[in-house]
Chains A and B, each alone.
Chain A
């Protein structure tokens, strides 16, 4: 086998492996850092922590129930801090979300309330009515700035 043939052979093998892999597994295209699923998400130890879209806030989402069951109302804990880790003053946080692919929002109207603890908020009344790709979009507003963070939940 000459050098050219070897390269072609390795290339072909890689393509075949890629093809077989994609046929055998179910992967989601969401970024690992923003994706929460039933298997990995069990509370603080598995919290998902990201920067908001314009990097104005550091946001961490904790699940308060495990596994996350469809059709059941449950709560989350949210932590919102500045990128330097400072607590925000007079911030308003709004939650929107749902299943964008199915064009509907949450079946419930979740609420957000400040908890004791640095930058902590209770997100209550969340319900995922069916398996699939859900989004929790948090809009964070201060007097002079605002930003948004989206968590993707795959059930």
Chain B
């Protein structure tokens, strides 16, 4: 009897010394879903939006310039920056859809093949488009303008529009200084572009190199001003942020009030058993890298090769980090120097999207193949179909209850856009 009493005594003495469970200040009883171990807290605190550093794209010296953002705001909603005067950036990046379009794949001048990603928080990315074929936000803004499926505009026409529009011209010069004189139509030929159709490329080659450079400089500044506008668009904190703060502050009352038990269970699954955190990490819930998550069906040709093509394209891109338009002259462009071109690692890989306000950006995946979030969760739970390339996914096993909890957590990431409402509509 003596030894069993001693045994119990040792147990009683030792168990409270296990300091792994976060205690709360006011001793309010917390349900098991809301109790977090120290090691779990270390993991989930990475999601806090307060960890988001101020976006600082040094390749764009105008990224934080309000005047540049005003110009970018006007250009973002300007349909005249398209061949048919019918498409603007906001045609696909609609403020009412959290700057997406709600469509399976984007529709500009014609139907595209990829789903429109949001631009809210995009200034924190380092690669752009689903395949990362450009490496700055300002270079991204230029891509759709000349893409035949999107704006299908010609480079000189875009620049000439700014030059001929009195208000835009004045606003441009207030930011970037004097604009060159583009009034000589024999030198600055309409319908000219180095990356468009053959006739436009022929026109472009007829221009002198100096005149091409003058056009390029203004064209790049258009991208930099649109990027300055997009840099303003950031997500506000969500219930999840308030919850994690409460957990860090050990505020039991706030913990149980901020997230439901289902939402807290979803957070625990997200950061643990469901493996979501392997790619969806950090304050924007993305690692900003590329992964093959079994979304390119081997039976469905033509294949979208994703990062395999994007990696090659960014090295060729005339506006990449190594271009003379990079405002950071000390940039060693290591992301390009050490870019991974290995087909084994890149085929059918796509950039991990951030998940803040993910409920507002349906449908999902690079091609919009899933209509809703529960289909996405089902896909991860059962991604064993034949796919192109080598998938990065680990097998997981989720119950229906787990899936509902994950869904509840994803919904708890909803928040407003942390910006004055004037920026969320056409100027």
Contact = CB atoms under 8 A, between A and B. Distances in A.
Interface stretch (A51-59, A76-84, A122-130): A122-130
Given A101-B394, A129-B289, A130-B281, A20 B18 contact: yes
Given A102-B278, A104-B345, A129-B289, 11 more contacts: A1-B3, A8-B3, A17-B14, A23-B20, A104-B392, A108-B335, A124-B338, A125-B334, A130-B277, A130-B278, A131-B281
B291 A16 contact: no
B178 interface: no
Given A101-B394, A108-B339, A26 B39 contact: yes
A106 interface: yes
Interface in A73-119: 73, 101-111
Nearest to A101: B394
Interface string B1-42: 011001100110011001110000000000000000001000
22 contacts: A5-B3, A9-B6, A9-B7, A25-B20, A26-B39, A70-B281, A71-B282, A71-B288, A73-B334, A73-B338, A107-B289, A107-B340, A109-B338, A109-B340, A124-B338, A130-B278, A130-B279, A130-B289, A131-B43, A131-B46, A131-B281, A132-B278
Contacts of A17: 14
Contact of A13 (B7, B20, B341): B7
Given A104-B392, A108-B339, A16 B345 contact: no
Given A103-B392, A131-B281, A109 B342 contact: yes
A13 B291 CA distance: 48
B132 to A, nearest CB: 11
A24 interface: yes
Contacts of A20: 14-15, 18
A130 B278 CA distance: 7
A25 B340 CA distance: 37
Interface in B242-282: 277-279, 281-282
Contacts of B341: 109
Contacts of A101: 394
Contacts, number: 82
Contact of A12 (B7, B18, B19): B7
Contacts of B290: 107
Interface of A: 1, 5-6, 8-9, 12-13, 16-17, 20, 23-26, 70-71, 73, 101-111, 124-125, 127, 129-132
Given A1-B2, A124-B338, A125-B338, A23 B394 contact: no
B390 interface: yes
Q: Which of A70, A124, A130 has the most CB of B within 10 A?
A: A130
Nearest to B14: A20
Nearest to B344: A105
Interface of B: 2-3, 6-7, 10-11, 14-15, 18-20, 39, 43, 46, 277-279, 281-282, 287-291, 334-335, 337-342, 344-345, 390-392, 394
A94 B291 CA distance: 24
The 5 A-B pairs of least Cβ separation, nearest first, read A125-B338, A108-B338, A9-B3, A24-B18, A129-B289
A8 B394 CA distance: 43
Nearest to A17: B14
A103 B2 contact: no
A118 B342 CA distance: 32
Contacts of B279: 130
Q: Which of B7, B281, B338, B340 has the most CB of A within 10 A?
A: B338
B287 A109 contact: no
A14 to B, nearest CB: 11
A130 B287 contact: yes
B349 to A, nearest CB: 9
Contacts of A110: 338
A20 B16 CA distance: 10
Contacts of A111: 338
Nearest to A2: B3
A105 B342 contact: yes
Contacts of B287: 70-71, 129-130
A127 B6 contact: no
A6 B3 CA distance: 8
A125 B20 CA distance: 37
Nearest to A99: B278
Contacts of A124: 338
B246 to A, nearest CB: 23
A26 B19 CA distance: 12
B278 A105 contact: no
B11 A16 contact: yes
Contacts of A107: 289-290, 340
Contact of A16 (B10, B277, B282, B340): B10
A9 B6 CA distance: 9
A127 B2 CA distance: 58
A71 B288 CA distance: 8
A103 B394 contact: yes
Contacts of B392: 102-104
A132 B392 CA distance: 15
A125 B341 CA distance: 14
Nearest to A127: B338
A29 to B, nearest CB: 16
